[in-house]
């Protein structure tokens, strides 16, 4: 099923507003989710709407949060979002970070007590579009075995980075600290497809290709991914006075309760360092030189981070966004949700 951008956005916004979000928050949430599908990150797009809607309807996402913003220094602040929609919280946090970085050169904004925030690349690209550099991290519930361990401790704990150039290109890097995000396993389930044996392990700690038998995910590059996911949990959990590691709330255990998650934005203004124009021109020069690198066998060319996502976006804008039929049928239905997620385990089972 292919759907144009405007239609998908309206379907998502209408569903989340019907579930209980304000119209304003539902529109922002739809922006973030549509962005993910446009870039081909389907694991963080419309596939998530029913889960969000069920949690909203059951009170686990605050409909009208009591939001507070406390500037703790000239370049630091904490946004408390009262367990409101994380997609909205992360955007507001980035708006504040952009404002502070433009004025003071650097901004570190922590967002605490929020729900799941979706694709981090949406937020870092907001900064790049304002001629700023951004780094964002957020914590998630435990579903990854630490390097050398046999049971889960950390979450997929993603990292995103974006930077502007002197032309219309943006460097945009968004990754989970696992070999793949859980959402990719979820998407494989929705399509009835197997997963690579390097993504996850079953209940016996053995590699599996069956997305329905996944018991825990694997950190990317072994000890390196393990260290990165710990770093993310420190920045977005401990630093903000929130639970860490195995104490982070489950996505599915009780959808009537707020998740108390943390997110951290670090934004840097190049104008306070090398200068904006020299920075942007050097960035463009780097990308141009990367494009001239001889491709390895089996590769047409060398891509810079974010390039293929933008190409997918251009194709989807022309031909429509690819959405699984079951997800589309849910979006156009009159139902808010089907009680699929509440009181399930970490893998919605």
pLDDT over threshold 90, residue 149: no
Question: Quick check: is 280 in a domain?
Answer: no
Could you tell me the pLDDT band of residue 174, with boundaries at 50, 70 and 90? Answer: very high
Contact 65, 82 (CB under 8 A): yes
Q: Which residues contact 232 (CB under 8 A, 6 or more apart)?
A: 137, 138, 139, 157, 158, 159, 177
- What was the pLDDT predicted at 348? 78
Question: Quick check: is 194 in a domain?
Answer: yes
Question: Quick check: is 251 in a domain?
Answer: yes
Question: Quick check: is 301 in a domain?
Answer: no
How far apart, in whole angstroms, are the C-alpha atoms of residue 207 and residue 100? 46
SS3 category, 174: strand
pLDDT over threshold 80, residue 261: yes
Question: Quick check: is 347 in a domain?
Answer: no
Q: For the beta carbon of residue 174, count every other beta carbon within 10 angstroms.
A: 25
SS3 category, 113: strand
pLDDT over threshold 90, residue 32: yes
Q: Is the dihedral of CA 214, 217, 220, 221 positive or negative?
A: negative
Q: Which residues contact 177 (CB under 8 A, 6 or more apart)?
A: 144, 154, 156, 157, 158, 159, 219, 220, 225, 228, 229, 232
Mean local confidence (pLDDT), 170-195: 88
Residue 200 bridge partners (DSSP): 217
- What was the pLDDT predicted at 114? 98
What predicted TM-score, i.e. pTM, was given to this entire model?
0.94
Q: What is the pLDDT of residues 36-51, one digit of tens each?
A: 999 999 989 999 999 9
pLDDT over threshold 90, residue 203: no
Q: What is the pLDDT of residues 92-109, one digit of tens each?
A: 999 999 999 999 999 999
Give the chain's domain count.
1
Contact 154, 142 (CB under 8 A): yes
- What was the pLDDT predicted at 184? 81
Q: How far is CA 321 from CA 3, 199, 264, 332, in A?
A: 5, 26, 30, 15
Which H or E run contains 163?
strand 159-164
Question: Quick check: is 247 in a domain?
Answer: yes
Mean local confidence (pLDDT), 173-200: 87
Mean local confidence (pLDDT), 227-250: 97
- What was the pLDDT predicted at 189? 85
pLDDT over threshold 80, residue 182: no
Mean local confidence (pLDDT), 314-339: 96
Mean local confidence (pLDDT), 167-172: 97
Question: Quick check: is 286 in a domain?
Answer: no
Instruction: Kindly give the residue spans of alpha helices, DSSP state H, lying in the chain.
Output: 5-19, 23-38, 49-57, 86-104, 121-128, 182-191, 223-236, 276-291, 307-319, 325-332
- What was the pLDDT predicted at 217? 92
- What was the pLDDT predicted at 187? 81
Which of 283, 261, 272 minimizes the C-alpha distance to 75?
272
Which H or E run contains 107?
strand 106-114
Summary mean pLDDT of the chain: 95
Could you tell me the pLDDT band of residue 79, with boundaries at 50, 70 and 90? Answer: very high
pLDDT over threshold 80, residue 150: no
Could you tell me the pLDDT band of residue 31, with boundaries at 50, 70 and 90? Answer: very high
Mean local confidence (pLDDT), 135-143: 96
> What residues make up the domain containing 100?
2-275+308-332
Catalytic residue among 25, 42, 116, 337: 116
Tokens encoding 4? 């144009």
For the chain, percent of residues with pLDDT exceeding 90: 87
* Lowest pLDDT segment from 15-19, 185-189, 267-271: 185-189
Contact 250, 141 (CB under 8 A): yes
Question: Quick check: is 95 in a domain?
Answer: yes
- What was the pLDDT predicted at 226? 96
Tokens encoding 163? 């930077």
Q: For the beta carbon of residue 119, count every other beta carbon within 10 angstroms.
A: 26
- What was the pLDDT predicted at 148? 82
Give catalytic status of residue 263 as yes or no. no
DSSP 8-state symbol, 215: -
How far apart, in whole angstroms, are the C-alpha atoms of residue 238 and residue 227? 15
Mean local confidence (pLDDT), 151-164: 95
Can you give the CATH number for the domain in which 40 is found? 3.30.1370.60
What secondary structure does DSSP assign to 258-271, as a single string? ---EEEEEEEE-GG
């Amino acid at each position: 099923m292919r759907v144009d951008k405007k239609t998908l956005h309206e379907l998502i916004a209408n569903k989340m507003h019907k579930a209980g979000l304000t119209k304003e928050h539902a529109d922002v949430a739809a922006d973030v989710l549509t962005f993910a599908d446009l870039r081909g990150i389907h694991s963080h797009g419309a596939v998530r709407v029913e889960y969000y809607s069920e949690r909203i309807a059951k009170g686990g996402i605050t409909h009208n949060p009591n939001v507070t913003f406390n500037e703790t220094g000239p370049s630091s602040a904490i946004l408390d979002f009262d367990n409101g929609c994380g997609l909205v919280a992360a955007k507001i946090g980035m708006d504040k970070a952009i404002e502070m970085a433009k004025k003071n050169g650097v901004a570190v904004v922590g967002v605490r007590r929020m729900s799941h925030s979706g694709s981090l690349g949406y937020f870092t690209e907001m900064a790049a579009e304002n001629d700023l550099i951004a780094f964002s991290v957020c914590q998630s519930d435990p579903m990854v075995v630490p390097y050398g361990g046999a049971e889960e401790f950390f979450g997929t704990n993603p990292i995103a980075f974006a930077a502007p150039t002197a032309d219309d290109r943006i460097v945009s890097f968004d990754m989970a600290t696992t070999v793949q995000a859980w959402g990719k396993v979820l998407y494989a389930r929705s399509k009835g497809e197997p997963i690579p044996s390097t993504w996850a392990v079953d209940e016996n700690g053995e590699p599996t290709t069956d997305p329905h038998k996944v018991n825990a995910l694997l950190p990317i590059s072994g000890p390196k991914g393990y260290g990165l996911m710990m770093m993310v949990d420190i920045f977005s959990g401990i630093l903000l006075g929130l639970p860490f590691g195995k104490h982070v709330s489950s996505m599915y255990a009780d959808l009537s309760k707020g998740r108390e998650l943390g997110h951290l934005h670090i934004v840097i203004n190049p104008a306070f360092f090398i200068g904006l124009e020299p920075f942007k021109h050097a960035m463009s020069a780097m990308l141009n030189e990367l494009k001239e690198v001889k491709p390895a066998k089996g590769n047409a060319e060398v891509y810079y981070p974010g390039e293929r996502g933008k190409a997918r976006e251009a194709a989807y804008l022309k031909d429509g966004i690819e959405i699984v039929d079951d997800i589309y049928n849910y979006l156009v239905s009159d139902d808010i949700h089907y009680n699929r997620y509440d009181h399930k385990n970490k893998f919605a089972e």
